[in-house]
Structure 1
Amino acid sequence: MTSPQVSSRRIFVESEFAPLRTVVFAQAEMRLPAASTFSPAQLEEEIGIIPADKRHLIRELLGKDHAVAMPERQSQWEAERSAFQAVLHKYNVEVLRPRLLTQYEKDAGGPDGYANAFVRDPWYTIGNHVIEGSLRYPQRRREVLASRDIMRSEVLPADGNYTAVPQPEIMPLEIDEGGPGPFLEGGDVLVYGHHVFVGQSGRASTQQGADYLRKLLAPSGYTVEVVPLKPNILHLDCAMGLVRDGLVVVYEDGLLNGVPETLANWERIPVRQEEAANLGTNGLPISPTVYVTDPFFERIGNEVAKHGIQVEYVDYQISRGFGGAFRCSTQPLWRETA
C-alpha cells in the first residue's frame, strides 16, 4: 500500500494582515450570464450593486465572454493583474495561479456563464482550515475547479484540514431571497486570530452558511460572528477591511448594526458611499506595514499612510468594474507572524 504524500508546505492564515507569505492569485476569465437568466426586476437589482458609471458595460457584456467581446479591455485587465503581481513579488510573496478553465467547464455553464477571476470567494483559508465555499451566483459555482490542482498539489499533502460547504439548493435567484443555501462566500469571511467575521446581506452568505462554519471551526477554538449588511452591499469586504491590529477602513453606513463590538476600540478610517461602491475597503494588507490599494482611493491611502504604513498603488479599474478588487483577487494560503 502506497503511503500518502507528505509536504512541508505551511498552510495557515492567522489574520487579514499578518505577513503574507504564499497567495493564490486569480486569472482573468469571465462570461456574464445571459440576460434571459434573470427576470427584469432581478437584473436591475443585481446590477444595482455595480457603480452607476460601470452598469452600461455589464449590460453590454451579458451573455458574452469578456476576452472575445472586448479584447483590448481584456488586455488592460490582464495588464493590471500583472502590475499587482509585480507588487506581490516586490515583497517576496510566493504567488500561485489557478489554471484556466477548460472548454468543457465553460460549456457546462450554459446561459449562466462562467467565472475565474476572483479566487477569494470560491474557497478560503482560516487557520489551517482550507474550505471550499458555496456561491450564490450560478455562473460562479464551478469557479473553484480552477484551483483544484492547487488543492491536490499544495493543500492535501500539507498539514491541515480540507473540507467543503454543502452544495446549495437549486432555485432561481429571484425566488431564493438570499437563502437558505447554504451559501458561504470568501468575500464575507474576515479572519482576526480565532475570531471570524461573516457578512450577511442577503446577496451572498446566509445564516446556514455561517452556522456551518461555526460548527466546523468550534473544535479548533474559533468564534464566528455574523455581521449584518445592508442589501446594497455584496460582501463584508465591500464595507470593512482590517488594515492592521487596531486599524480598520470601514463604510459604517453599510453595516446594519455598526462596527462589531470586537473592533469597537479600533481606530477607524471612514469610507464614503462612492468609495465603498467602487471597492474602497477592498485593499490588501501585505503585512501590518504594507497596504495595496487603487490610486482612485488616494484619500484613503493617505489616511492609511499616516499610521506609518507603506501604501502601494495599482490601477485596478477593470477588475473593480466587475465588482472585485485586490482582496477579491487573492486567496492567502500562508499569513503568519514570524
Structure 2
Amino acid sequence: MLQLNIQNETATLKAVILGTAKSIGAIPKPEDCYDPKSLQHVLNGTYPKEQDMISEMDAVAAIFKKYNIKVFRPEILENYNQIFTRDIAFVIDDKLIKANILPDREKEYLAIQHVLDQINPKNIIQLPADCHVEGGDVMPWNEYVFMGTYSGDDYADFITARTNVQAVKELQKLFPHKIVKAFELRKSNTNAKENALHLDCCFQPIGKDKAILHKNGFLVESEYEWLLNYFGKDNVFEITKEEMYNMNSNIFSISEQVIVSEQNFTRLNTWLRENGFIVEEVPYTEIAKQEGLLRCSTMPLIRE
C-alpha cells in the first residue's frame, strides 16, 4: 500500500505521478481549447507536437530516476491529453482528494486507477458535486493550505475559473487543523497575460521560507501583500508579466534544496542558484504552450 504524505510543496519527494504526452490526439479545434494560451498556439499554427512533448517529459522522468523517486505514469488513453495530472487529484496529509474538474476530463482520473488501487480507500475523498477544484489551485504549506479561487458572480462565464468558494469551505471542513487561506485570482478567457489559470501560475513556495510571486495574478492587492509579508520581501522572487506568461512560477521542488526548472528561465535559475538551490534544468517550452508547466504535470503522493 502507498502511505500518502504531503505536508508542503518542498519536502523530499519519494513518489509522484508524472503525466504522459503519448497518444495526445489531434490538434484541438479553437472552440475546444480550455485556456487562452492553447487557443493562441492553435490559431498561430504553433501548437506543440506530440514527439517533442514526449521527449520533454522523458527529461523530467530521467531526473526523478536520478534522485530515486518512485514514478507512476497514467495508463495511455488513445488520442487524449493526459499531461496535466495535477488537475485531476491532489494529496494533503494522507488523503487523496479527487478534483471535480471539467466533465470532459473525467477519463484522466480513471487512467490512474492502478495507483488508486494501492491507496487505502478510506483515504480517497470525493468532494460534493458543487465543489469545483483543481490541484493547481491547492498548495499545502505546513499549517496552511493556500488556495486560488474566484468568487465573482460571473464565475460561470470563465472557463479559466477552476476552483470555487464551496471547495475552499469543504477543504476547511476536511482539514480543521489547518488554516485554509484563499486568494482571489485574475481571470481572462482571451488574454493569457491577464489570466492566472491556477494559483501556481502566479505563486509558489520554494525551499524552507522562499517564494516566487507575480503581483498582477492576484485580484486583491492586500492578499498579495499578505504573501509578500509572510515570506518577507528578501525571500521573494518577483516575476514579470512576461515571465508569468512563460510559467516561471510553475517549477517543481524535489526537495528543499533541489528544483526542476525550465532551461530558458535564465533570470529565475540564476537567482535560485545564488540562493543556494540546485537547479535541474529541462526543456519544457512545448508543454508550456498549453498553459501548464512542471508543477502542472506532476502529482506528488509522498514527501518525507
TM-score by length of 1: 0.77
- Three-state SS of the structure 1 residue aligned to 2:269 is helix
1:133-144 alignment, distance < 5 Å: 133-135=99-101, 137-144=102-109
2:218 aligned residue: 255
* Shift in Å, 1:223: 1.6
For 2:61, which of 85, 91, 99 is the aligned residue?
Answer: 85
Q: Does 1:98 align with 2:74?
A: yes
TM-aligned CA deviation for residue 262 of structure 1: 5.8
Matching residue within 282, 295, 299 for 1:314: 282
In structure 2, the CA distance between the partners of 1:295 and 1:214, relative to structure 1 (3 Å rule), is: same
The offset of 1:200, in angstroms, is 1.2
CA distance in 2, matches of 1:215, 1:233: 26
Say whether residues 1:223 and 2:179 are aligned partners: yes
**Residue 139 of structure 2 is aligned to residue 163 of structure 1:** no
2:196 corresponds in structure 1 to 233
Q: Is the 8 A contact 2:35 2:291 kept in 1?
A: no
- C-alpha separation in 2, matches of 1:34 and 1:125: 33
Structure 2 segments unaligned to the other structure (5+ residues): 156-160, 188-194
| Closer, same or farther: CA 30–215 of 1 in aligned 2, 3 Å | farther
CA shift for structure 1 position 10 = 2.4
Contact 1:278/1:320 (8 A) holds in 2: yes
Residue matched to 1:109: none
Q: 1:36 to 1:278 in 2, by over 3 A?
A: closer
Cα distance in 1 for partners of 2:214, 2:42 equals 24
Does residue 210 of the first structure (1) align with residue 168 of the second (2)? yes
Contact 1:165/1:184 (<8 A) preserved: no
2:83 to 94, 117, 126: 117
Code of the residue aligned with 1:140 in structure 2: it is: R
Give the letter aligned to residue 259 of structure 1.
Answer: Y
Higher Rg: 1
- Which residue identity is paired with 1:301? N
Q: Percent identity?
A: 28
The Cα shift of 1:166 comes to 2.6
Does the CA-based 8 Å contact 2:133-2:163 persist in structure 1?
Answer: yes
Match of 1:275 among 221, 239, 243: 243
**2:12 maps to what in 1?**
19
The two structures have a TM-score, normalised by structure 2, of 0.85
The alpha-carbon distance between structure 1 residues 141 and 131, as it changes in their structure 2 partners (threshold 3 A), is same
Unaligned runs of 5+ in 1: 1-6, 38-42, 107-113, 168-180
Measure, in 1, the Cα distance between the counterparts of 2:224 and 2:12: 24
Partners of 1:260 and 1:87 in 2: how far apart? 35
Residue 325 of structure 1 aligns to a residue whose secondary structure is coil
Change (3 A) 1:60 1:91: same
Is residue 151 from structure 1 mapped to residue 113 from structure 2 by the alignment?
Answer: no
Correspondence list, 1:21-36, <5 A: 21-28=14-21, 29-31=23-25, 34-35=29-30
Q: Quick one: structure 1 residues 14 and 322, their matched pair in 2 at CA, closer, same or farther if it must change by over 3 Å?
A: same
Q: What is the match of residue 158 of structure 2?
A: none
Deviations 1:218-262 (A, max 9, x none): 2xx122111111111100000001112210011112112343636
> What per-residue deviation string (whole Å, max 9, x for no partner) do you get for residues 23-56 of structure 1?
111111545664456xxxxx7xx643x1xxx644
Which residue of 275, 297, 305 maps to 2:265? 297
Q: Counterpart amino acid of 2:124?
A: Y
Q: SS at the partner of 1:187?
A: helix
